[in-house]
Every structure is written in structure tokens, then in C-alpha cells.
């Protein structure tokens, strides 16, 4: 990391919530996903790919979580989980 370069970088905050921040460097074209213990640095295109991946994973997870909620209703989880 070149200190001079870093000073010239203009970081725009793209978003922020309880798990971290996402910033975009207009000079490097790099998106930084800053989490509590780690930072991911991705080119914009890679970030968009990651976003698409997370989006589909999110949909899948919510579907699975909903299925589990159904399975965990009293008296159904032990006997019916793999019966369908
Ligand atoms: Zn930069």
C-alpha cells in the first residue's frame, strides 16, 4: 500500500449496518466490505458477482429456514423430517 496513493483515494460510503460498512474507492475502482474482523477488497465487477451470489444464498437460506420452522412445529420434527 502506497501512502501517497491512499491519500488521493476518495472513498464513498455505499452502505452501513450493524455488521459492517461497504465503501467504494473511485480512484482504484475497488469496493471494500469492512466487517468486524476482516475487510474484503473487490473490484466493482467482483463485488456485483458477490452480491448476486449472496442474494441467491439469502433466498435459499430463507427458504430453508422457513422449511425448518415448519418442521420444528411440535410433534412433527422427529417423525416427519425425512418422510416426505
Ligand atoms: Zn483507492
pLDDT digits (tens, 9 = 90+) for 36-79: 999 999 999 999 999 999 999 999 999 998 888 877 677 655 55
Strands of the 11-17 sheet, one edge to the other: 11-17, 20-25, 30-35, 39-43
* Residues by chain with Cβ below 5 Å of ion ligand 1: 9, 25, 27-28
Distance between Cα 1 and ligand 1 center (Å): 10
Cα separation, 23 vs 39, whole angstroms: 11
Three cell numbers written together for 20: 459492517
pLDDT at 35 over 60: yes
CA distances from 67 to 51, 63, 73, 75, 81 (A): 24, 6, 10, 15, 10
Instruction: Considering only residues 75 and 25, tell me which one the structure prediction assigns the higher pLDDT.
Output: 25
Q: How confident is the model at residue 6 (pLDDT cuts 50, 70, 90)?
A: low
Cross-strand pairs, 75: none
Amino acid at each position: 500500500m502506497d501512502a501517497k496513493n491512499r491519500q488521493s483515494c476518495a472513498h464513498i460510503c455505499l452502505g452501513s449496518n450493524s455488521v459492517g460498512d461497504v465503501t467504494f474507492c473511485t480512484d482504484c475502482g475497488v469496493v471494500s466490505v469492512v466487517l468486524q474482523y476482516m475487510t474484503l477488497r473487490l473490484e466493482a465487477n467482483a463485488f456485483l458477482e458477490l452480491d448476486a451470489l449472496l442474494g441467491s444464498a439469502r433466498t435459499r437460506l430463507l427458504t430453508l429456514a422457513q422449511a425448518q420452522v415448519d418442521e420444528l412445529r411440535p410433534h412433527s420434527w422427529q417423525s416427519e423430517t425425512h418422510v416426505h
